[in-house]
Structures are given as structure tokens and as C-alpha cells.
Amino acid sequence: MLDPGDPAPDFDLQGTADDGVGAYRLSAATTRAPAVVAFVPEDDPDSRSLLDSLAITDWASVSDAVAVFGVLPADIDDCRSLAGALSLPYPLLADTHGVANQFGVRKQDGSVQRAAFVVDQRCRVRAAAVFDDPDGSAPDLDPILRGLADL
């Protein structure tokens, strides 16, 4: 898994955009603001909990601006369905290009860890957290919030 200080791999992925589909590039997003990139393995209660927590977080309390991306190892139709079901206020990106591998969150069994990264405006990882508690409770986003506040 990438550590703070590591360069964040740039990506170009399709993702949800209002009622349609858009193209998202990490380096383009971080030229304007830091980004939070969160990986979820699938549409399950624990993944939904992380995505919901990202949706209700008051990002403005720690940063003037922040881009938030959820990344799911699925096709764009599955991402659209899940984003619509959860009414996500941020894009859910279809990881069809192995971005989870590049961030080091793909496990040996092929699944993806629930994890989030803060990426600064130089496209470097500033904070990282893994959310391994599969108990359905809301994940502790404090490491991510602290990473943003430290920018």
C-alpha cells in the first residue's frame, strides 16, 4: 500500500456524473484542490458504510476545497447503480484499469481493501488509512481528516 510521501499514480477513469458518466483524471483534480481517493471492494454493507461516511463528512471544516472519489472494481453501470442508490454527492469511479493495484490495495486473493488516501496538489500521498473492520459500523475517517488539515 502506498505510504505518505509516495507519488500517487495518476489515473483516467469513467465515473458517475450527476445523471450521466464523466471522465476523471486524478492529476487534473489535484491541480485545483487536494483529493480523497477511497477504494471499496464491492457493493456490500461495509463498503456502503464507507461511501456513506465520505458523503456526510463536512470536508469544508478541514479544507477550503477537496475532490472526493470513490473507486469500485466494477463496470460503469454498476457504479451508476450504486451511486444512485446511495445518492452520492461525489463520483464513483469504475476501476477497469487496475488502479487498486497501483495504489497497493489489491489483496493476494484479488479482492480490494477498503482504504482511503489524501493526495495533495503535487499528486503525492499525504495520508492513508485502511478500514478492515467488517462490522458495518462507520469507519474512522480521522486519519484522512488530519491528513487534509495538515496540508
pLDDT (average), residues 81-106: 96
Q: CA of 30: how far to CAs of 35, 76, 87, 117, in Å?
A: 6, 23, 24, 13
Share of the chain above pLDDT 90, in %: 85
Is the pLDDT at 88 greater than 70, yes or no? yes
pLDDT digits (tens, 9 = 90+) for 12-67: 999 999 888 999 999 999 999 999 999 999 888 889 999 999 999 999 999 999 99
Residue 116 phi/psi, 5-degree rounding, is -140, 150
pLDDT value, residue 134:
63
Question: In this structure, how many other beta carbons lie within 10 angstroms of the beta carbon of residue 115?
Answer: 25
- pTM here? 0.95
When pLDDT is averaged across residues 83-90 and rounded to a whole number, the result is 94
Fold of 12-149: Glutaredoxin (3.40.30)
Average pLDDT value over all residues in the chain: 94
Q: How confident is the model at residue 135 (pLDDT cuts 50, 70, 90)?
A: low
The confidence score (pLDDT) of residue 19 equals 80
Domain-by-domain residue ranges, the chain? 12-149
Q: Which residues contact 56 (CB under 8 A, 6 or more apart)?
A: none
